[in-house]
Amino acid sequence: MPRATNSPASRKRHKKVLKYAKGYFGNKSKLFRYAKDAVQHAWQYAYIDRKKKKANFRGLWIVRLNAACRANGISYSRFIEGLHAANIQLDRKVLSDLAIRDEVAFNGIVKQVQDALKTKAAAAAKA
C-alpha cells in the first residue's frame, strides 16, 4: 500500500508558518524547519512581553509620581503612606495622569496626604 502524506494539509501548515516568518533574516524566512523555530521563539517573546508591559507601565507611573511628589516636597513612599492614611483610593495610573495633566488637583491631593500624615503622627505620639 502506498504511503499517504496528506500533502495538501502539510503544505498549508508550512505556508502558514512561512507567512508568519516573512521578514526574518536568511533561512528563517525561507526554510520551514528554521522558520518554525523562529516563529515559536517570537511567540514566546510576545507572550512574555505582554506580561512585562504591565510592569513597565507601573514603573513609569511610579517614576512620574516620584518626580511630581518631590516637586511638592514629599517623597513617593511617604506619599503612598499618606494616601492610605487619608483613605484615598486612586491607583498609580490615575495619579500619574493627574500629576501630568492637572497639577492643581494633584497639589490638592498632596495637601490632603500631608494633613493625613500629620494626623497619623499625632495619633502615634499620643499612644
* Residues 6+ away with beta carbon under 8 Å from 97: none
CATH 3.40.50.12780 is right for the domain spanning 13-126: no
Question: For residue range 29-55, what is the model confidence (pLDDT) as tens digits?
Answer: 999 999 999 999 999 999 999 999 999
Going from N- to C-terminal start, the domains of the chain cover 13-126
pLDDT of the residue at 85:
94
Q: Report the pLDDT averaged over residues 52-68.
A: 97
SS (H, E, C) the chain: CCCCCCHHHHHHHHHHHHHHCCCCCHHHHCCHHHHHHHHHHHHHHHHHHHHHHHHHHHHHHHHHHHHHHHHCCCCHHHHHHHHHHHCCCCCHHHHHHHHHHCHHHHHHHHHHHHHHHHHHHHHHHHC
Q: What span, in angstroms and rounded, lies between the C-alpha atoms of 61 and 72?
A: 17
Closest CA to 65 of 113, 32, 30: 113
Band the pLDDT of 5: cuts 50, 70, 90.
confident
Q: What is the pLDDT of residues 72-112, one digit of tens each?
A: 999 999 999 999 999 999 999 999 999 999 999 999 999 99
Q: What pTM was estimated for this model as a whole? A: 0.79
